[in-house]
Amino acid sequence: MARPRAAWASDGAGRAYLWQGASLWVGRSQGRTQWHDHHAHQLALAAQGELRFRTEADGPWTSFAGALVPSHCKHQFEADALCVAHLFVEPESRAGRALTRRFGGAEVAALPEDEVRESARALFAAFDADAGALAMHRAATATIQSLCGAGVEPDEALDARLVRALDYIRRHIGRPLPLNEVAGAVALSESRFRHLFVSGTGCSFRAYLLWLRINLAIEAVMDGASWTAAAHHAGFSDSAHLSRTHKRMFGIEPSSMRPAAREAQGEHL
């Protein structure tokens, strides 16, 4: 995940970009997701109007110009034909930690409306201008920076062994990756590594692998692979396993996603 690339469109109205530590999904959003949760913090920003979230099955919908959905917070999202940007920020990154400090880490939190409109202006302008992947990445990282004052590199407060483990996982995510192998790579016992991993990332080793694998599958699809081929490429047992994981993490069927018609080519960080 070294460079941002356009990946996604829903009814021809959106794109997605993925890079290490974060991703951007931007376009016109309409309808309601299923219940879902994911490892990353989610920054949801509306160009105009308001979007809605709820966190209880019979609970009320709350409207936001922009919202932070914290890591592993189960929720539903809905919007009425709005242009929306979703920025997914890994919570163990500097930006992830900064967002938790500023907005809390338990419930969906409102982002200040004036900051949402100001910080996202360049992001939506780049999208409307059909900017390339590199320009979209710059606009997205500037938006994250404006809301929390930090980038998406690993937080310097993370245990150095965990930083090495996360790097090892990313380099080998396309194949089976047992916990004991990663623990051994950073010279820890399985039990000690499991404890370190959960305390540092806020999720289990298996859940983190699934988060990386679903992003790897999306990258494969944006490069033209079928969802079946992408499932095998990313280490899922089959496309049904990938589909279940995708719905659980994003609340939508993977079939609702497809490569954008005008994908930026040859742009690197």
* 177-205 CB burial, b ≥16 within 10 A, e <16: bebeebbebbebeeeebeebbeebbbbeb
- Report the domain count for the chain: 2
Is residue 35 domain-resident?
A: yes
Does 85 share its domain with 143?
yes
The pTM score is 0.88
Is residue 2 domain-resident?
A: no
Q: What pLDDT score was predicted for residue 268?
A: 36
Q: What pLDDT score was predicted for residue 257?
A: 62
CA 163 to chain centre: 19
Q: Which domain holds residue 220?
A: 160-256
Strand partners, 52: 63, 78
H or E segment and range at residue 63: strand 62-64
Does 43 share its domain with 140?
yes
Does 142 share its domain with 34?
yes
Query: Which residue, 95, 123, 148, sits at the end of a domain?
Result: 148
Does 112 share its domain with 169?
no
Q: What pLDDT score was predicted for residue 223?
A: 75
Q: Which of 77, 69, 36 is nearest to 210 (CA)?
A: 36
Q: What pLDDT score was predicted for residue 139?
A: 94
Does 131 share its domain with 175?
no
Reduced to 3 states (helix: H, G, I; strand: E, B; else coil), residue 12 is coil
Query: Which residue, 148, 170, 192, sits at the end of a domain?
Result: 148
Does 144 share its domain with 234?
no
pLDDT mean for each 10 residues of the chain (269 residues): 40 70 88 94 94 94 96 94 93 95 90 89 90 91 94 91 95 92 98 96 94 90 85 90 93 70 40
CATH of the domain at 221: 1.10.10.60
The tally of CA atoms less than 13 A away on the side-chain side of residue 201 is 24
* 206-226 CB burial, b ≥16 within 10 A, e <16: ebbbbbbbbbbbbbbbbeebe
Does 135 share its domain with 181?
no
Is residue 76 domain-resident?
A: yes
Query: Which residue, 148, 168, 201, sits at the end of a domain?
Result: 148
Q: What pLDDT score was predicted for residue 14?
A: 65
Report the first-to-last Cα separation within the chain, whole angstroms.
Answer: 11
Is residue 250 domain-resident?
A: yes
Does 169 share its domain with 134?
no
